[in-house]
Amino acid sequence: MEIHSVCCIFVLYLESIYISIMIKVSETAKSKVLQLMQDDGFDPTNDFVRVGVKSGGCSGLSYDLKFDKSQIEGDKLFEDNGVKIVVDTKSFLYLIGTTLEYSGGLNGAGFVFNNPNANRTCGCGESFSL
């Protein structure tokens, strides 16, 4: 077997492991995502949540969360707890092992990312650094 073939197989294997532990969706986040998708005219059985990381925020990187109906080449598609999630190639490694939560408490309602890769987060929880 050629080294190139072995490397490709290994990369595919690692990618399948990453996808299986990519982003977990809590029960509260699932309920809110499904409700908001339907409110915004998206079909939770066909459409998905696009999660990404972009430059910005007080800690250097910030999360991007929106609903989408189409995939872009290179997107990683997976599902957890009945929620379909798409992550772009650039954001993929930043988000491995992250749990999407939803908080509806007195301090404000919104989605929260519990990211084990983040070394530092800001007070609002919307940005992080590695």
Tens of each residue's pLDDT in the chain, 130 residues = 455 555 556 556 655 555 556 789 999 999 999 999 999 999 999 999 999 988 866 657 888 899 999 999 989 888 999 999 999 988 888 888 899 999 877 667 788 888 887 775 555 555 444 4
Surface-to-core class of residue 67, CB atoms within 10 Å of its CB (0-12 exposed, 13-18 middle, 19+ buried): middle
Domain residues for the domain of 116 are 3-129
- Residue 104 and residue 5: Cα distance in Å, rounded? 49
- Residue 35 and residue 55: Cα distance in Å, rounded? 29
Under DSSP, is residue 56 helix (H, G, I), strand (E, B) or coil?
A: coil
Count of the separate structural domains present in the chain: 1
Q: Which CATH number characterizes residue 92's domain? A: 2.60.300.12
pTM, full prediction:
0.73
